[in-house]
A and B are shown apart, each in its own frame.
Chain A
Amino acid sequence: MLRFFLFTWMLAGITNAYAEVEFNEQDMTFIRSLGPWPVETNPDTSNRFSQQEQAIELGRQLFFDRRLSADSFISCADCHQPNQAFQDGIALNKGLNVLHRNTSSLINIGHRPWYGWGGEHDSLWSQSIRPMLAATEMHTDISTLKATLEQDAYFQCAFRQTTQQTLQDLSEEAFLITLGKLLASYQETIRSEKSPFDRYRDQLLKQDANTPALSTSAQKGLKLFVGEGRCVFCHSGPNFTNGEFGDIGVPFFTNNGQSVDKGRYQGIQSLRKDPYNLLGKYNDDPSKNNALRTQHLQTLHRNWGEFKVPSLRNVAQTAPYMHNGNIETLADVIDFYSELNEERLHADGEKILRPLHWSQEEKTNMVNFLTSLSGKVKSATENKTLFQQCLLN
Chain B
Amino acid sequence: MNIKSRKRILGIGAFLLFISSQYSLACSLPENGYITLTDKDVSIAIRWSKDLTVGQPFELQVLSCKGEQPFTGDVSASAIMPAHNHGMNYRPSFVLEKPGQYKGSGFLFHMFGVWRLRLSFVSDGQKYHFEHDVIL
Contacts and interface: CB of A to CB of B under 8 A. Distances in A.
Contact of B92 (A30, A296, A347, A352): A296
B112 A236 contact: yes
Interface stretch (B7-15, B16-24, B33-41, B79-87): B79-87
Interface residues of A, number: 26
Nearest to B91: A298
Nearest to B113: A233
A113 B55 CA distance: 10
A90 interface: no
A159 to B, nearest CB: 35
A248 to B, nearest CB: 14
A30 B112 contact: yes
Contacts of A352: 84, 111
Interface string B40-58: 0000000000000111010
Contact of B112 (A233, A243, A298, A300): A233
B93 interface: yes
Contacts of A347: 84-86
Contact of B91 (A242, A296, A350): A296
Nearest to A119: B89
B83 A295 contact: no
B111 A296 contact: no
B64 interface: no
A244 B112 contact: no
- Give the interface centre of A242, A293, A352 by most chain B CB atoms within 10 Å: A242
A232 interface: yes
A232 B106 contact: no
B105 A292 contact: yes
A234 interface: yes
B110 interface: yes
A237 interface: yes
A30 B90 CA distance: 24
- Give the interface centre of B82, B87, B108 by most chain A CB atoms within 10 Å: B108
Contacts of B83: 349-350
A296 B94 CA distance: 11
Contacts of A348: 85-86
A244 B90 CA distance: 11
B106 A292 contact: yes
Given A296-B106, A298-B89, A236 B84 contact: no
10 contacts: A236-B112, A244-B55, A292-B57, A296-B92, A298-B90, A300-B89, A347-B84, A348-B86, A349-B83, A350-B84
Interface of A: 30, 33, 113, 232-234, 236-237, 242-245, 292-293, 295-298, 300, 302, 347-352
Given A236-B111, A350-B83, 7 more contacts: A237-B55, A243-B110, A295-B106, A296-B92, A298-B89, A298-B91, A347-B86
State the 5 A-B residue pairs at the shortest beta-carbon distance, nearest first. Answer: A349-B85, A296-B106, A296-B90, A298-B91, A242-B55
